[in-house]
Amino acid sequence: MADGGDPGSGGSDDRNVPRNPNLEGVLRYAIENTPENAGDTPVSPGPMDVNRRQWLGAALHQFAQTAQDDVEQMKTCLQTLAEGGEDHIEEKETAMEELMDLCCSIDNAQDLHKMGGLVLVISYLKHRNSGLRWRAGDVIATVTQNNPFCQAAALELAALPTLLELVDTDPDSNVRVKALYAISRLTGSCEEAQQRLVEHDGFSVLMRAMQSDTEKLKVKAAFLLRNLCLSNPQHKDTLCNMGMVTQLASMLQTEHNTFHEHLMGALVALVTGNRQAVKDCRQPQLRLKQVLTDRIEHLKGREEFQEEMEYCQQLLHICFSQHDDTLAAADR
């Protein structure tokens, strides 16, 4: 499994395809008309023939027109969401889905907030209809992905506590999954959001999510935990203090299943360069060394578990093969 993606996303979680072919055309035109030596030698712009000028002008005009059309379409969606009280569920679900598509563009996502749409979408996280709750989570995830402006706006609008509550308590598993997906996008490369997550006891929410019966939720929680450890090593001390190492190691002793790969990935990230986490893994009652040794034997020759095998080997090396002076050096 690739490290950079969010496993188990599915559906609308990975919409990164540009909506506007005309922008692609403009970019293609620029590339095709850039001399090969442009990076080495300054080039003065030359004259553009009439046909090319007309084509480029038309493409730019259509691109601007499409952007304006997107704004109008978002306004229509928001009007649908703002009217009708608790009725017209199907129309509102369609409006949410259209917003998901439109807000794949960072510019559109920012425009959505500027026109008051983000606060309206966040309010739907508490709607009685589960289909609207999970779609609202999906929109928030789309709007905040790689978008510092919208991440800050969502934090200001207190989206994070509501999302955490949904992950923890919503009766609909799809709502819980989408809420956690939104949290992963909201906290991605955003130190303030990660700090808020800690302040709202978000790590406990992740721990409980990994102990749930919903596979997608468990995988996403482990993946987010791993990413948080990798992005900010300071989180590891907090996680050790709350007993996360013991919890993860204990879960590895359950009957083997595909979730264990993600569990081990999170544990590897947690113990790497952290002496306390390594000491926690060495607790005799966990029997982790024996668990890992047995697991390696169980996975031998099974290509579908190659990544889990590598995690096992890394954990054995970090926790049980390195000398104490090496671990101390890692802390420094």
Residue 35 has pLDDT above 60, yes or no: no
67-80+88-200 and 201-332 agree in CATH topology: yes
User: Where is 211: in which H helix or E strand?
Assistant: none
Separation between Cα atoms, residue 264 and residue 225, nearest integer Å: 11
User: Where is 308: in which H helix or E strand?
Assistant: helix 306-316
What does DSSP assign to residue 321?
I
Statement: 67-80+88-200 belongs to CATH 1.25.10.10: yes
What does DSSP assign to residue 319?
I
Residue 98: pLDDT band with limits 50, 70, 90: very high
Least confident of 35-39, 160-164, 223-227: 35-39
Separation between Cα atoms, residue 16 and residue 151, nearest integer Å: 18
**What does R_g of the chain's alpha carbons equal in angstroms?**
24
Least confident of 175-184, 313-322, 323-332: 323-332
DSSP string for 273-298: T-HHHHHHHT-GGG-HHHHHHHHHHH
User: Higher confidence at residue 209 or residue 60?
Assistant: 209
- C-alpha neighbours within 13 Å on the C-beta side of residue 186: 32
Six-digit token string for 55: 């084509």
- In this predicted structure, what is the pLDDT of residue 18? 45
Tell me: the pLDDT tens digits for 144-156? Answer: 999 999 999 999 9
Tell me: the pLDDT tens digits for 109-136? Answer: 999 999 999 999 999 999 999 999 999 9
Tell me: the pLDDT tens digits for 183-217? Answer: 999 999 999 999 999 999 999 999 999 999 999 99
How many residues are given for the chain?
Answer: 332
- In this predicted structure, what is the pLDDT of residue 15? 44
User: Higher confidence at residue 295 or residue 41?
Assistant: 295
DSSP string for 23-91: HHHHHHHHHHTS-TTTTTS--------HHHHHHHHHHHHHHHHHHHHHHHHHHHHHHHHHSSTT--HHH
Residue 283 has pLDDT above 90, yes or no: yes
% residues pLDDT > 90 (the chain): 74
Residue 11 has pLDDT above 50, yes or no: no
Judge whether 145 and 136 are in contact, CB under 8 Å.
no
- In this predicted structure, what is the pLDDT of residue 14? 44
- In this predicted structure, what is the pLDDT of residue 55? 67
Exposed, middle or buried: residue 29 (CB in 10 Å: 0-12, 13-18, 19+)?
middle
Least confident of 28-32, 110-114, 171-175: 28-32
Separation between Cα atoms, residue 280 and residue 256, nearest integer Å: 22
Residue 106 CA: distances (Å) to CA of 136, 147, 165 = 17, 7, 27
- In this predicted structure, what is the pLDDT of residue 79? 96
Q: Which class is domain 201-332?
A: mainly alpha
Average pLDDT, the chain: 86
Task: Enumerate the domain spans of the chain.
Answer: 67-80+88-200, 201-332
